[in-house]
Amino acid sequence: MANDFRFDDAPLTGTQLDEGARVAMRAFFDDRYFRFLMPSDRARARSATILFHEQLKHLGKGGRVTTVRDANDAIVAVAGWLKTDQFPPPLLSQLAQLPGSLRAFYRQPRSLRIGARYLSTLLKVHPKEKHWYLMLLATDPARQRVGAGTLLMEDGLSHVDAEGVGGYLETQKEENLAYYRRFGFDLKETLNPMEGGPPYYTMWRPPR
């Protein structure tokens, strides 16, 4: 693990939200789902940055955003969790994200329809058991595989285990399944929300 990293759980504000959103955008830029959602590189970079910014900004009081920073205090990885009984987020948090989401899909009705279909499918299978929900885990591609994501996972799971509840996440990448299994998650379902679109994988970590 790189020894110049430090974990930070201070709330993100202002330009830090922008920085965290750009890290997430770069991490998911070549993701199959985001390419299917927004085929244009330029549109994808713009829209994904807006979506991640709004997600990080409006998780609500039940959210926990954490980062890993390098020796220059730059964000290299970011995670967003929803704590027990905080999914779905409060209505006010959802409404606060709406203007940004509409701005992200401005003049992209196809992307809006695809996103709505996937979201509807994911909502239907979200577990009812008590759990922490990992909404986002992203590491800058230039700093992957050196331990930044592990710092974020270990922090989040320490809270999950302290409560004795389950953990839940979704991932669009099949290659991520082995990574999350290292932390005790098992494949729950493979979803195919749209013909011709990439699958989504849900994973569950039983209470410890």
Q: Is the pLDDT of residue 97 over 90?
A: no
Name which of 116, 98, 107 is nearest 197 in CA terms.
116
Alpha-carbon distance of 173 to 153, in angstroms, equals: 17
Task: Output the pLDDT for position 40.
Answer: 96
Stretch 114-143: mean pLDDT, rounded? 96
Task: Output the pLDDT for position 3.
Answer: 60
How many domains is the chain built from? 1
Over its C-alpha atoms, the chain yields an Rg (Å, rounded) of 16
Task: Output the pLDDT for position 152.
Answer: 98
The parent domain of residue 109 ranges over: 6-205
CATH of the domain at 183: 3.40.630.30
Stretch 134-155: mean pLDDT, rounded? 96
The string of pLDDT tens digits covering residues 8-65 is 999 999 999 999 999 999 999 999 999 999 999 999 999 999 999 999 999 988 999 9
For 26-37, b/e burial (b = at least 16 CB within 10 A) is: bbbeebebbebb
In a domain, 1, yes or no: no
